[in-house]
Amino acid sequence: MCRLGILGGGQLGKMLSQAARKLEFPVEVSIYDTSDYACAREDADRFHRGSFEDIEAIQRFAEDLDIITYEFENIPVAVVASLSHAIQGSEALRILQNRLLEKEFVDSLPGIPCVPHAQVGLGFSMDYPFIVKTVQFGYDGKGQYLINDVNDLAHVKTGMVAERYFPTLTEYSMVIARNVDGTTTHYPTFENVHVNQILDTTRFATIDKGLEEQLFEKAKNIALALDYIGVLTVEYFFADGKLYVNEVAPRVHNSGHITLDAANISQFDLHLYSLLGITYPEITIDPDWCMVNVLGQHYMAVREKSLPGKFYDYGKHSTTKNRKVGHINGKLQYLDLLKKAREE
């Protein structure tokens, strides 16, 4: 029997809990979240509501647990550092929850560089168009502004990260896993389309083997340099004939939801295998799948239809516009149909 604790009770915590149920031994899942309505709650054996700033409450939560994982980045580093059985470690959080530290770190490693960037401050200048992002707490494009010309400069605030903006680009993600037993594995590259800075669809990329190798090498360098254990995702841009790192997430990733159907082992299983030291099987995939995200505004339309795909309903308490409430995995031939099914 293994007692697993998850910090964060959103959809990633939910799908991790569900994966825990499929392991060959019994697992008791405990979830810690700030909201009584956390969607992972119904999948957990035990649930604790509390603040992520409350180190003592989290330490009490963690006391009787065997391993702890987190499903999102914005947890105070000190909290995770104080938990010896948080196997992912706190170094990944320390660096990756801060866009500037993240970029400096990524650029200090060999391989693909970050998008050209600078911190806004005295003497800052960058050619238009550029994009500014808050240094911390961004997700789904929140805290980001596209700066096309001088009229947009009101959004450019000291301390923000400014990056070159690519009007046309291809986006990739590489989901890799590193096991406590020292081994590493990864899925083939995913190709992602974002709409309004929110992931819209994922499919397997048609990509040159040499480029894919570079994506994997960089992701592996990052995981090794952080001494990271678990699933880690690197988001990449391919623009103007060059590869760039966009950002790194020390966790399972929305693009990896496709693996629930398209792979012999899902990213959620892989994360647990990593933490528990279970030997990875060789990963096999069926490239004939795609994933379509369902946001609050799509929910009713999707619920009402019979879809040529599998709808994963996160059971969110509210269906807020532009918030992820589910996703659909389906065969690639139905991609357009599935996208359309989200409309009224």
Instruction: Pick the closer one to Mg ion by CB: 48 or 327.
Output: 327
> Between residue 274 and residue 333, which ones bind Mg ion under the rule CB under 5 A?
none
Collapsed DSSP state (helix, strand, coil) of residue 109: coil
Integer Cα distance of 134 and 97 in angstroms? 11
Q: Residues for the chain: how many in total?
A: 344
Which listed range, 12-20, 72-80, 161-169, 303-311, lies at the site for ligand ADP (CB under 6 A)? 161-169
Instruction: Pick the closer one to ligand ADP by CB: 18 or 144.
Output: 144
Figure out which of the listed residues 33, 235, 261, 269 binds ligand ADP, where binding follows CB under 6 A: 235
Site for ligand ADP contains 141 (CB under 6 A): yes
Integer Cα distance of 52 and 233 in angstroms? 23
Provide, rounded to whole angstroms, the least separation between the CB of residue 229 and ligand ADP: 23
Binds 67: which of Mg ion, ligand ADP, none (CB < 5-8 Å by kind): none
Compute CA 22 distance to the chain's CA centroid, rounded to the nearest angstrom: 22
Instruction: Pick the closer one to ligand ADP by CB: 119 or 197.
Output: 197
Instruction: Pick the closer one to ligand ADP by CB: 238 or 311.
Output: 238
Provide, rounded to whole angstroms, the least separation between the CB of residue 102 and ligand ADP: 10
Site for ligand ADP contains 269 (CB under 6 A): no
Of 314, 249, 328, which Cα lies nearest the Cα of 14? 314
Binds 191: which of ligand ADP, Mg ion, none (CB < 5-8 Å by kind): none
Provide, rounded to whole angstroms, the least separation between the CB of residue 45 and ligand ADP: 31
Compute CA 263 distance to the chain's CA centroid, rounded to the nearest angstrom: 18
Integer Cα distance of 302 and 308 in angstroms? 11
Site for ligand ADP contains 163 (CB under 6 A): yes
Site for ligand ADP contains 120 (CB under 6 A): no
Size of the site for ligand ADP (CB under 6 A): 18
> Between residue 217 and residue 236, which ones bind Mg ion under the rule CB under 5 A?
235
Going from the C-alpha of 315 to that of each of 19, 36, 227, 303, 324, the distances in angstroms are 17, 13, 34, 12, 11
Phi, psi of 325 (to 5 degrees): -120, -5
Contacting residues for 130 by C-beta, under 8 A, at least 6 apart: 147, 162, 163, 164, 165
Site for ligand ADP contains 165 (CB under 6 A): yes
Of 33, 60, 72, 65, which Cα lies nearest the Cα of 49? 33
Figure out which of the listed residues 131, 147, 219, 325 binds ligand ADP, where binding follows CB under 6 A: 131
Is the bond preceding residue 129 a cis peptide, omega within 30 degrees?
Answer: yes
Amino acid at position 81, single letter: A
Q: Give the footprint of Mg ion on this chain (CB under 5 A).
A: 235
Residues in contact with ligand ADP by the rule CB under 6 A: 115, 131, 133, 138-141, 163-166, 169, 171, 194, 197, 235, 246-247
